[in-house]
Amino acid sequence: MPAQTPASAPLAESATAAAATTVRSPRLGWFAVLSLTLGLFSIVTTEILPIGLLTPIGDTFGASDGTAGLMMMLPGLLAAVAAPVVTVGTGRVDRRRMLCLLMAVLALANFLAALAPAYWLMMVSRVLVGFVIGAFWSIAVGLAERLVPAERVGRATAVIFSAVPLGSVLGVPAGTLLAQLAGWRAVFVAMGVIVLAVLVALFVSLPPLPPRHVTRLAVLRDLLGTARARAGLAVTFLIVTAHFGTYTYVTPFLADVTHAGPGLITAFLLAYGTAGIVGNFLAGAWVRRALRTTFALAAVLIAAATLLLPLLGTSRPGALALLLVWGLAYGAVPVCSGTWFATAAPGAPEAASVLFTSSFQATLSLGALAGGVVVDASSVSVVMVAGGATAVLAAMTSRHP
C-alpha cells in the first residue's frame, strides 16, 4: 500500500534529456500521465479494498477480523520483495510492456478473488496483487520526467501520486457501497473490468520506454548505505506501522465501538479519503521547504487521532472529527516518504522508487499483521492506542538529523 512527490532539482535536470527522446506532444504526454494515474489508482484500490470489506469477506469464509486482515498483510509483503527483484530482473525490458503486463496480472487477481470458493484461493489472488504493486510502483513513479516537458515534471508527478488518496476517497467507499448492494464478490468483478480498461489506456497512450538507467543491486546497496536513506527507512517504518496497524481495522471499530451502520461507515470512509486528498496536496507544497517538519506534523496528528478514538470515537461526531484529522495527516505521509527517498538518490530515481516501494509495502504488511494480533488478543480500541504510541515515536524520529 504508497502521494505526490515534488521533483527535486537534480531530477528536473535529468528530465531534460529524457524528455527530448520520449515526449511526443504535451497532449499525448498528459494522456500517458493520466493513464499511469489510473493504473496506480486501480492498484491502490485493489490493495486496500479489504479494509472496507473485511467483515463480509471474513463472514463468508468463517475468518476472524485478525485473520481476514492477512488480506492486507500478504500483498504488502510480496510487494516489498517484488519491487527490487522485478525491477532489477527486468531492467532491460521496455517499461511500457512491463506496465501493460502487470495490469493484465492485476485483472486476473481481481477476477480470481471474485470467484474464490475458499479463503486460500482469495489469498492466492492477494499474492498476485502484491507482485503487481511492487513492480508497477517501482517502474511507474519515476516516469513523469519521460512523458512531459521538464518544467511540468513536478506537476505530473503530483498528478500520478494523487492516485493514493483517490483510492481511499473513491475506491474504498465505492467498493463498500457496491458490496452492500450486490455483495463483495461484485466489487472485485467491477475492479477487474476497470483494470482491463486501464490496460487499454496504457497500451494506447504510453510511448516505447526502453530503460534509461538499468537499476542494479549494487545501486540499491549503495543507496541503503547512506545516512539519509536509513533515516527515511526508520521514519517510514514507524509511521506506516502506526497507520496500517490501526486503519486496517477501522471498519470493525466503527461498527463495534461507534455503533455505526454500513451506510454511515461508508460515509465516514468517504470523509476520511476526502481529507486525505487535501492533506496530499498541502504536503506537496510544504515538503519543498520543510520536509522533516511536515513529516513530524503528520505523525503527531495520526497519533492524536488514534489515541483519542477509543475515548471520543464512541460518539459518531467524535469519530467523524478524528477520522478527518487522521485522513488529513495520512495524506501527507506518502508525499513525505517518497520525497525523502528521492532526495536521498537524486541521480537514481528508479532506485529511489524501489526503496520507497519496498519499505512502504513491507511495513504496511507488518503493520496489518501486528494490528491483527492485537485485535484478536484484545480489542480494536487497544490497537488504536498501540498505533498512536507508535506514531509518537515516528514524530520524534523524523526530527532527528
Give the pLDDT of residue 401. 56
Q: At 94, give phi and psi (nearest 5°).
A: -55, 130
| C-alpha count within 13 angstroms, C-beta hemisphere, residue 387 | 39
Average the pLDDT over 247-269 and give the result.
87
> What pLDDT is recorded for position 179?
87
Q: How confident is the model at residue 196 (pLDDT cuts 50, 70, 90)?
A: very high
Mean pLDDT of 265-279: 85
Q: In 94-171, where does DSSP find H-type helix?
A: 95-115, 119-140, 144-147, 153-161, 163-166
pLDDT of residue 14: 38
Average of per-residue pLDDT across 56-81: 79
Residue 189's pLDDT is what? Answer: 95
Give the C-alpha separation, 201 to 197, whole Å. Answer: 6
Cβ neighbours of 314 (radius 10 Å): 13
pLDDT score recorded for residue 92: 76
Q: How confident is the model at residue 4 (pLDDT cuts 50, 70, 90)?
A: very low
Q: Is the dihedral of CA 244, 247, 249, 253 positive or negative?
A: positive
Cα angle 362, 364, 368 (rounded to 5 degrees) comes to 120
Backbone phi, psi, residue 209, to 5°: -130, 70
Of 374 and 192, the one with more pLDDT: 192
Per-residue pLDDT of 283-339, as tens digits, reads 877 877 788 889 999 999 999 999 999 999 999 999 999 999 999 999 888 878 878
Buried b (16+ CB within 10 A) or exposed e, 145-159: bbbbebebbbbbbbb
* Stronger pLDDT, 332 or 196, i.e. the higher one: 196
pLDDT digits (tens, 9 = 90+) for 338-393: 788 877 777 676 777 788 888 887 787 778 778 888 888 888 889 999 999 999 99
Are 85 and 215 within 8 A, CB to CB?
A: no
Q: What is the pLDDT of residue 148?
A: 81
The pLDDT value recorded for residue 400 is 63
Average pLDDT over residues 196-220: 83
Interval 108-135: pLDDT, tens: 999 999 999 988 888 899 999 988 988 8
- Could you tell me if residue 207 is left (phi over 0), alpha (psi between -120 and 50 degrees) or otherwise beta? beta
**Residue 26's pLDDT band (cuts 50, 70, 90):** low
Separation of alpha carbons 351 and 83, rounded Å: 10
- What is the pLDDT averaged over residues 37-58? 86
Nearest to 124 by CA among 111, 138, 136: 111
Task: Name the band, by pLDDT with cuts 50, 70 and 90, for residue 193.
Answer: very high
Lookup result for grid cell 513492480: 135
Instruction: Give the closest residue to 244 by CA, choosing from 361, 166, 396.
Output: 361
* CA separation, residue 270 to residues 245, 264, 316 (Å): 20, 10, 15
Mean pLDDT over the full length of the chain: 82
Output helix, strand, coil percentages for the chain, rounded to the nearest 5. Answer: 85, 0, 15
| pLDDT band for position 214 (cuts 50, 70, 90) | low
Residue 200 binned pLDDT confidence (cut-offs 50, 70, 90) = very high
Predicted confidence (pLDDT) at residue 138 exceeds the cutoff of 50: yes
**Is 75:130 a contact under the CB 8 Å cutoff?**
yes
Q: Which three cell numbers stand for residue 294?
A: 511536515
Q: How many residues does the chain have?
A: 401
Evaluate whether 43 touches 132 at the Cβ level (below 8 Å).
yes
263: number of Cβ within 10 Å: 11
pLDDT-based confidence at residue 58 (cuts at 50, 70, 90): confident
pLDDT of residue 249: 85
Residue of 210, 176, 145, 171 whose CA lies nearest to 352? 145
Helix (H) or strand (E) holding 84: helix 70-89
Summarize pLDDT for 222-244 with one digit per residue, the tens. Answer: 777 788 888 888 888 999 999 98
pLDDT of residue 154: 65
